[in-house]
C-alpha cells in the first residue's frame, strides 16, 4: 500500500506538467460537438464554423458582472426564458458540474 501511494506521489507532477489551464480545458469542452457545442449557435472570435442564432460570446464580464448569473444560464437557460432553445446543460446532465465550471471559466474570459 505504501509503495502505491509513493508511486502515485512521484507521478503526480507528470500529470500536472501536461495539464492545460482551466480556460483551455473549458474551451475544448465548449468547442466539442459532442459536449458543449457552443459554437453551433454562438459566434466566438477565432472559432471555426460558429453560429449566428444565439448571442455572440463577447464581452462576457461586462454582460454578466455576476458570474453566478452566467453559470445559471449555462445550467438551465429555460429558467430565465422558458422558450430558450439552449440545452439545459446541468439540469439534463449533458455536462458535469466540473465541465460546466470549466466552460464558465472559458466563456467568462471572452
pLDDT at 20: 76
Q: Is the pTM of this model over 0.75?
A: yes
Q: Give the domain 21-109 fold.
A: Cytochrome Bc1 Complex; Chain D, domain 2 (1.10.760)
Q: Where are the domains of the chain?
A: 21-109
Q: What is the number of H-type helices and E-type strands within the chain?
A: 5, 0
C-alpha cell at 103: 466552460
pLDDT, one tens digit per residue, over 4-37 is 433 333 443 433 344 479 999 999 999 999 998 9
The Cα 89–Cα 48 span in angstroms is 22
Residue pair 76/91 in contact by the 8 Å Cβ criterion? yes
pLDDT at 13: 42
Amino acid at each position: 500500500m505504501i509503495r502505491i501511494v509513493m508511486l502515485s506521489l512521484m507521478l503526480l507532477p507528470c500529470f500536472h506538467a501536461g495539464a492545460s489551464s482551466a480556460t483551455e480545458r473549458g474551451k475544448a469542452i465548449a468547442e466539442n460537438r459532442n459536449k458543449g457545442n457552443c459554437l453551433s449557435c454562438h459566434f466566438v472570435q477565432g472559432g471555426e464554423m460558429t453560429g449566428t442564432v444565439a448571442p455572440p460570446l463577447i464581452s462576457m464580464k461586462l454582460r454578466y458582472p455576476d458570474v453566478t448569473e452566467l453559470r445559471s444560464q449555462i445550467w438551465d437557460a429555460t429558467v430565465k426564458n422558458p422558450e430558450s432553445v439552449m440545452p439545459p446543460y446541468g439540469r439534463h446532465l449533458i455536462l458535469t458540474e466540473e465541465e460546466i465550471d470549466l466552460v464558465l471559466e472559458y466563456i467568462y474570459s471572452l
